[in-house]
Amino acid sequence: MKIICVGRNYAAHIDELNNSRPDAPVIFLKPDTAIAQYNLPFFIPEFSKEVHYEVEVLVKINRIGKHLQHKFAHKYYDEIGLGIDFTARDLQNKLKSKGLPWEKAKGFDGSAYVGKWIKKASLTNIDKLPFSLYKNGDLVQQADTSLMLWGIDELIAHISQYFTLKIGDIIFTGTPAGVGPVAKNDLLEGYLDGQKSFSLNIK
Ligand code: ZN
């Protein structure tokens, strides 16, 4: 399986990192080894002094798809989740400034944390799905999917023009504003559509 991530999909987050607004979705991949074990803590890697959390809505692909049209994209997933795209921001900034690929900063072991999956059919409105992240009990990120520059079905259609989607692939749909660093002993808690999605210790 592969992990397909979307960058710069919320206007307020683009502004907080002083990035420019893209005219097409920004896409990058993480290897399957980036998937974090659901029940284990996240271990801050030694090569970074500034690992950031980015809470994101996740989509799990359930059919093989290629060159999909927007109107058919909804048939290619029936589970939605919430996760964290852990990012070694110091390393990413260094790589970005040299025009180099981000993989070391974005695709390291454990960098793709996946919370509980929820059946799409049980969610009220996928196009306005609220989600939030708390760090040590404080609300740090809060948004809903209507604030995405490209919605889930548009992303699936776009991604499938370049990468064949396979069963089990996970799409990280981008993070809203409020990203920030994690430190040892932090507790991250995510909520999707009012339900607790994960509780994650940082080590
Ligand atoms: Zn992200």
Q: Tokens 């002094």 correspond to what residue? A: 49
Q: What's the pLDDT band for 15 if we cut at 50, 70, 90?
A: confident
The CA 71 to ligand 1 mean position distance, Å, reads 25
Closest alpha carbon to 60 in 3, 6, 109 = 3
Q: Tell how far the Cα of 36 is from the centroid of ligand 1, in angstroms.
A: 15
> What is the band of 126 on the pLDDT scale with cuts at 50, 70, 90?
very high
In this predicted structure, what is the pLDDT of residue 113? 97
Domain region containing 145: 3-201
Residue 37 has pLDDT above 80, yes or no: no
Is residue 41 pLDDT above 90, yes or no?
Answer: yes
Q: What is the mean pLDDT of the segment spanning 159-163?
A: 98
Centroid of ligand 1 to alpha carbon of 47 (angstroms) = 19
Between the CA of 87 and the centroid of ligand 1 the distance, in Å, is: 8
- Residues lining ion ligand 1 (Cβ < 5 A) are 54, 85, 175
| pLDDT value at residue 66 | 97
**Exposure pattern of 153-184 as b/e (b: 16+ CB <10 Å)?**
bebbbbbbeeeebeeebbbbbbbbbbbebbee
What is the model's pLDDT at position 17? 84
CATH number assigned to the domain comprising residue 192: 3.90.850.10
Contact 32/3 with Cβ under 8 angstroms? Answer: yes
Report CA(90)–ligand 1 centroid distance (Å).
15
- How many Å lie between the centroid of ligand 1 and the Cα of residue 28? 9
According to the model, what pLDDT value does residue 203 have? 97
| pLDDT over 80 (residue 118) | yes
**Ligand 1 centroid to 106 CA: how many Å?**
8
pLDDT in tens, 182-191: 999 999 999 9
Number of domains in the chain: 1
pTM of the predicted structure, to 2 decimals = 0.96
pLDDT given for residue 200 in this prediction: 97
Q: Which residues pair with 80 in a beta bridge?
A: 59, 118
